[in-house]
């Protein structure tokens, strides 16, 4: 049997996405509280995500949403990492409120946000070990929020994945 790497990219990207989701899930979390939601989207969902990014770019008159949408369309998969808003009850005041009870539900818990960052770092480190090209995108995460991909998560970031001769997510045209 002969396997041409060009013919197995889709499967390898999905395997990498699974490993990245594992890395994000097992990343350390504040007080051991797991408020994370992690999914991978492909094909049609990627196109919906990119279209929503273009729509947001039009509405906000922000050109980087369009540039990033073009990048997303080049991805073989996109890992979405989000956090629910679950205050840890530490009353740390890092969010700007004296106690967790005083914090409005619209304000994310700082520890939940930090947990997302740590999970993103773990996922990207896994992608790097697997030689998968990535980039962390706030813009695609915002579009995922509008599309309700992670319905309980007010904080979402996206990591598009690519296996190609040149990383499509870097050396982009300046805005």
pLDDT of 95-116, one tens digit each? 999 999 999 988 999 999 999 9
Number of domain units in the chain: 1
- 170 located within any domain: no
Question: Nearest Cα to 142, choosing from 60, 70, 74, 24?
Answer: 60
Residue for token pair 């980087």: 64
- 131 located within any domain: yes
- 153 located within any domain: yes
* Burial class, 173, CB count within 10 angstroms (exposed 0-12 / middle 13-18 / buried 19+): exposed
| pLDDT tens for each residue of 34-46 | 999 999 999 999 9
- 112 located within any domain: yes
Residue for token pair 């106690």: 99
DSSP annotation of 164 reads S
- 167 located within any domain: no
Structure-block tokens of residue 10: 């889709």
CATH code, 26: 3.40.109.10
- 82 located within any domain: yes
The pTM of the full predicted model, rounded to 2 decimals, is: 0.95
Cβ contacts of residue 65 below 8 Å, gap of 6+?
A: 53, 54, 56, 57, 139, 143
Q: Which domain holds residue 20?
A: 7-161
């Amino acid at each position: 049997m002969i396997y041409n790497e060009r013919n197995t990219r889709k499967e390898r990207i999905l395997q990498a996405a699974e490993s990245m989701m594992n890395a994000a899930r097992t990343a350390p979390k504040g007080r051991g509280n797991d408020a994370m939601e992690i999914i991978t989207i492909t094909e049609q969902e990627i196109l919906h995500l990119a279209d929503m990014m273009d729509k947001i770019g039009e509405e906000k008159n922000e050109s980087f949403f369009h540039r990033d949408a073009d990048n997303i369309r080049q991805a073989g998969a996109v890992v979405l990492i989000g956090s629910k808003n679950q205050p840890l009850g530490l009353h740390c005041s890092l969010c700007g409120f004296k106690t967790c009870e005083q914090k409005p539900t619209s304000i994310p818990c700082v520890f939940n946000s930090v947990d997302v960052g740590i999970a993103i770092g773990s996922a990207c480190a896994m992608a790097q070990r697997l030689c998968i090209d990535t980039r962390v995108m706030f813009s695609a995460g915002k579009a995922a929020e509008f599309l309700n991909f992670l319905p309980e998560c007010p904080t979402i970031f996206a990591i598009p994945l690519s296996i190609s001769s040149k990383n499509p997510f870097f050396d982009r045209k300046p805005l």
